Amino acid sequence: MKERAKGYIVVCVVIVLYWFMDSIWSYLSFEYNLKKLIFSEPGSYLDTFLLKVPPYQIVSRLMVVFLFTAIGVMVIEYIIRKRASEKKLSESEKRYKTAQRIGRVGNWEYDISTKTYWASEQARVIYGFDRSSHHFSAEDIESRITQREETVKALQDLIENNNAYDIEFEITPKNSIRKKFIRSIAEVDRDRLGHPVKVTGVIKDITQRKENELERKRLEKRLFQAQKMESIGTLAGGIAHDFNNILSSIIGFSELALAEVTKGSGLEDHLKEINYAGNRAARLVRQILIFAKKSEEEVKPIELAPIVDETLKLLRPSIPANIKLVDHVDARLSVMGNETHIHQIIMNLCTNAAHSIEKQGGRVDIRVTDIEVSDPTQLSGTLLAPGAYILIQVSDTGVGIPPELLDSIFEPYFSTKKLGDGTGLGLATVYGIVEKYSGTINVDSQVGQGTVFSIYLPAGDAAVHPETLENTALQGGSETIMIVDDEKSITKALSKRLG
């Protein structure tokens, strides 16, 4: 409205200027001055301005004024409408670009005759191209695509056979090394004779969707793994309890027999072998119960450094000479747990590491240190909450673990060793202990480069108090001891031992 009013004011000013100038011209004209001389008519510029002129001049002035007014109105309306159209077009283009930016969608065209691409601003952003450029060669576009051959073939099938073009592929943007996932849909435009002229399409950045899908699949896989481990643990725990009762009888009666047998006899050797095998089986049962989280162990604040030292002292004599054990222990925090559990973690991880390099030799590093996690961290599908942790890390220079086996290494009885070399419970036991301590275990392995097991155990708040043992003589008397157990053989063995 303001622009229209300004336009009309301009028209009025032009008309007034015209009237003013024409009055001057009329006043100074030869014809008017000649009449003034012949007819002795008084005349002045004011008379001329006020139309005291011949009628034909009045008519000509009014016609020019009308013409100026009509042309002025038409020009004003044309300019106003043009500016309104330009404004609407600009707003529409802005909305279009905003929609493409928010939706991460760009459009493109492929000229079949020149083999060049045109790309919209958002399409250029997705591919990492300069925003000032609009046209690109086929090589510029296709060199960014990881699955180049499949993508080019799909475009040719669209042009030649009119096959549907709706594909997903991976690209490396020109301005970044971080790959993106793209979905592209297109159709071919043909001339009157049906010959293909150009391809028109859209692309959408679906990187976030792909990453979410991969994360969902990984979490589903981990959930399935956890459920499978829980089922196996429940089954193993039930069997282990029953088996433990049987072993208690075997170990108990073998110890009673050893107390009564003649020293140095062949029977004593046989009984010792029975007792040794029974104790080995009992240790195996304890590992199963730990994995099943059904063993009841004393929990207290413990320091890891002495346990690591003790475990490595026991381990070194059994490790081949071509394998070097190197420890880096500087942990000062304590863990609420059981010394046997920590011993089993170190022993099993080091044994596995040594096994992976026993042929060619190498090095096993054991690192135990305090760390502070300030922000929530994702590790192997588990969220590591902020706080203080003790990191137990065992790395080797071995052959590594193939990617297809990584998901199975914590399963009970899974082993890559030959028959008789292992029980397949080592890593399953470690997994069970770490879960029981609300910790996290992460595995990083590269085939041919080695493996790193990293265990994060929450640090305890309580201080470590060394135990003091008092030598107190046991005093007997006339007391009665009642033995209760659901296994007769166990009560019988204990009764015999107590006399």
- Using one digit for the tens of pLDDT, what is the confidence trace for 157-192? 999 888 989 999 999 888 888 889 999 999 999 888
pLDDT for position 240: 73
Which of 35-39, 396-400, 461-465 shows the lowest per-residue confidence on average (mean pLDDT)? 35-39
Q: What share of the chain has pLDDT > 90, as a percent?
A: 6
Q: Which residues contact 112 (CB under 8 A, 6 or more apart)?
A: 159, 196, 197, 198, 199
* 407 or 475, which is more confident: 407
Within 10 angstroms of residue 478's Cβ, the number of other Cβ atoms is 4
Within 10 angstroms of residue 275's Cβ, the number of other Cβ atoms is 18
* 108 or 99, which is more confident: 108
Query: What is the band of 30 on the pLDDT scale with cuts at 50, 70, 90?
Result: very low
pLDDT for position 220: 80
Give the tokens for residue 231.
Answer: 């089922």
Q: Which residues pair with 387 in a beta bridge?
A: 373
pLDDT for position 381: 58
Give residue for tokens 């008084």: 42
Helix axes 304-315 and 339-356, enclosed angle (nearest 10): 40
How far is residue 391's CA from residue 395's CA, in Å, rounded to a whole number?
13
pLDDT, average across residues 442-464: 81
pLDDT, average across residues 367-394: 81
Which of 222-226, 359-363, 398-402, 436-440 shows the lowest per-residue confidence on average (mean pLDDT)? 222-226
Give the tokens for residue 112.
Answer: 């079949």
Q: What share of the chain has pLDDT > 70, as a percent?
A: 76
pLDDT for position 194: 86
Question: Does residue 282 surpass a pLDDT of 60?
Answer: yes
Query: What is the band of 469 on the pLDDT scale with cuts at 50, 70, 90?
Result: very low
* 302 or 299, which is more confident: 302
**Residue 198 near residue 110 (C-beta atoms within 8 A):** yes
- The three state secondary structure string of the chain is CHHHHHHHHHHHHHHHHHHHHHHHHHHHCHHHHHHHHHCCCCCCHHHHHCCCCCHHHHHHHHHHHHHHHHHHHHHHHHHHHHHHHHHHHHHHHHHHHHHHHHHCEEEEEEECCCCEEEECHHHHHHHCCCCCCCEEEHHHHHCCECCHHHHHHHHHHHHHHCCCEEEEEEECCCCCCCCEEEEEEEEEEECCCCCEEEEEEEEEECHHHHHHHHHHHHHHHHHHHHHHHHHHHHHHHHHHHHHHHHHHHHHHHHHHHHHHCCCCCHHHHHHHHHHHHHHHHHHHHHHHHHHCCCCCCCCEEEEHHHHHHHHHHHHHHHCCCCEEEEEEECCCCEEEECHHHHHHHHHHHHHHHHHHCCCCCEEEEEEEEEEEECCCEEECCEEECCEEEEEEEEEECCCCCCHHHHHHCCCCCCCCCCCCCCCCCHHHHHHHHHHHCCCEEEEEEECCCEEEEEEEEECECCCCCCCCCCCCCCCCCCCCCCCCCCCHHHHHHHHHHHC
pLDDT, average across residues 275-300: 69
Question: Does residue 233 surpass a pLDDT of 70?
Answer: no
pLDDT, average across residues 89-110: 78
Q: Which residues pair with 458 in a beta bridge?
A: 389
Q: At 57, phi and psi to the nearest 5?
A: -70, -35
pLDDT, average across residues 199-203: 91
pLDDT, average across residues 4-26: 70
Q: What's the mean per-residue pLDDT of the chain?
A: 77
* 325 or 292, which is more confident: 325
Give pTM, 2 decimals.
Answer: 0.42
Query: What is the band of 39 on the pLDDT scale with cuts at 50, 70, 90?
Result: very low
pLDDT for position 425: 65
Highest mean pLDDT among 68-82, 168-182, 300-314, 315-329: 168-182
Within 10 angstroms of residue 133's Cβ, the number of other Cβ atoms is 10
